[in-house]
Amino acid sequence: MTKLRHCYPLNFRPAKVFERRRYYSRLDFGLMERWFKEKPEELRRPIFNLDVGNETRYYKREYQSKLGKLLYFNIKDFQELKEMVLEYLPEDLYYDRNFYKDVEKCADCERRGKGCLSCDEVLGQELMFDIDPENIDCPNCGSLDDRVKGASMFKFCYICFNRARDQTVELYKWLESKGYGRLSTVYSGRGFHIYVEDEKAYQMSYAARKRMAEEIKKMGFAIDPWVTSGGARLARVPYSLNGLVSKVCHPIKMGEIKKIDFWRSRPFVPDFV
Q: What is the CA radius of gyration of the chain?
A: 18
Does residue 1 surpass a pLDDT of 50? no
Which CATH number belongs to the domain containing residue 161 in this structure?
A: 3.90.920.10
Q: Is residue 9 part of a domain?
A: no
CA dist., res. 63 & res. 32, Å (int): 25
- Whether 49 is covered by a domain: the verdict is yes
Query: Does residue 225 form part of some domain?
Result: yes
With the C-alpha atoms ordered 181, 234, 140, 57, is the resulting torsion angle positive or negative?
Answer: positive
Is 46 a member of any domain? yes
For residue 11, is it within any domain?
Answer: no
pLDDT tens for residues 157-196?
999 999 999 999 999 999 999 999 999 999 999 999 999 9
Q: Is 195 helix (H, G, I), strand (E, B) or coil?
A: strand
Identify whether the C-beta of residue 133 lies closer than 8 Å to the C-beta of residue 220. Answer: no
Q: DSSP letters of 73-108?
A: E--SSHHHHHHHHHHH--SEEEEE-EEES-HHHHHT
Bridging pattern class, strands 241-242 and 247-248: antiparallel
pTM, two decimal places: 0.93
Q: Is residue 118 part of a domain?
A: yes
Task: Tell me if residue 160 falls in helix, strand or coil.
Answer: helix
Please count the structural domains in the chain. Answer: 1
**Residue 144 domain flag:** yes
Does 116 reside within a domain?
yes
The more confident residue out of 5 and 246 is 246
Range of the domain at 197: 17-256
